[in-house]
Amino acid sequence: MSSRPAAGGGRWVEVDPARLGRWVEGFAERHGPPTVTAQGYGLLLTAPDGATAELHAPPGAAGDLSASAGTKVGGDLAGFLAAAAAPRRIGLLLARKSAVAVGVAAGEDLVISKVDSRYVQGRTAAGGWSQHRFARRRDNQAKAALGEAVELAVRLLLPEAGTLDAVVAGGDRRTVDGILTDRRLAPLAALRADRLLDVPEPRHAVLVAAVAAARAVRVLVRDPAPSD
């Protein structure tokens, strides 16, 4: 479980779906039994002392949660926990300027994976024509790397599009956006989750770790206001 400050106050906590029930129990123990209300993002827990926890549905779980909400009045915590923990098939696209990793996760297991990298020259301190020449070379290398990343996604991810519940991207947003603007990848772009994973240079180990990050339930926690 990881935690980081949230813009506007509070903190984001990422919880493994299998541990979410225990996390909710701990929240209730610390702040009192919360009321549960359904929200567009998932569920809102509001404790008697004013503490709140927003449970954001993980990628690919929205359909399960909508079906559950249709049979319940108010927030369905048990249904949310079950839907969040259910195995899903998620496509992964991790990219930075000189490397890309694609994969498919079935539940917690990475069942398809491929990593590719291409040299992209760094910036140079030289000036004048040399600087312009290096800049053109770097741009050409970056374009070639992007093209190869697109082809990798076409070969490995696109055939799986019909089986995926969601596509989760990570790395550099501009590079990921550049890959998914290819018209052939429109079926994958349509499945893209809002979540962008913060990952280093894509490697196989990074891709494996991304499976857990893609499945995690993100919780926005805000503590009660201090009493006078």
Residues 102 and 174 grouped into a single domain: yes
Q: Do 33 and 24 contact (CB within 8 A), yes or no?
A: no
Q: Domain with 179 in it: what CATH number?
A: 3.30.420.60
In a domain, 166, yes or no: yes
> Residue 14: which domain range?
2-86+216-222
Quick one: 82 and 93 in the same domain? no
Could you tell me if 183 and 105 lie in one domain?
Answer: yes
Instruction: Tell me: do 19 and 109 sit in the same domain.
Output: no
In a domain, 227, yes or no: no
- 120 and 197 fall within a common domain: yes
Query: Is residue 115 a part of any domain in this protein?
Result: yes
Tens digit of each residue's pLDDT, the chain (228 residues): 777 888 888 999 999 999 999 999 999 999 999 999 999 999 999 999 999 999 999 999 875 555 444 433 346 999 999 999 999 999 999 998 778 999 999 999 999 999 987 644 455 444 444 565 555 655 655 566 688 999 999 999 999 999 999 999 999 999 999 999 999 999 999 999 999 999 999 999 999 999 999 999 999 999 987 765
Co-location of 165 and 120 in the same domain: yes
In terms of domains, do 101 and 191 share one? Answer: yes
Instruction: Give the residue from 7, 47, 3 showing the smallest Cα distance to 25.
Output: 47
In a domain? residue 19 = yes
| Residue 139 CA to its chain's centroid (Å) | 28
- Same-domain pairing of 68 and 97: no
In a domain, 228, yes or no: no
Angle between helices 173-180 and 128-156 (to 10 degrees): 60
Pair (151, 98) in one structural domain? yes
185 occurs within a structural domain: yes
Looking up tokens 């374009």 gives: 143
3 state DSSP class of 50 = coil
Same domain (yes/no): 93, 70: no
Residues 163, 152, single domain; the answer is: yes
CB atoms within 10 A of CB 12: 16
In total, how many domains does the chain have?
Answer: 2
Spatial distance between the Cα atoms of 10 and 209, rounded to a whole number of angstroms = 26
Tell me, yes or no, whether 195 lies in a domain.
yes
- Mark whether 99 and 56 lie in a shared domain: no
Residue 163 lies in a domain: yes
What is the distance between the alpha carbons of residues 89 and 166, in angstroms, rounded to a whole number?
Answer: 7
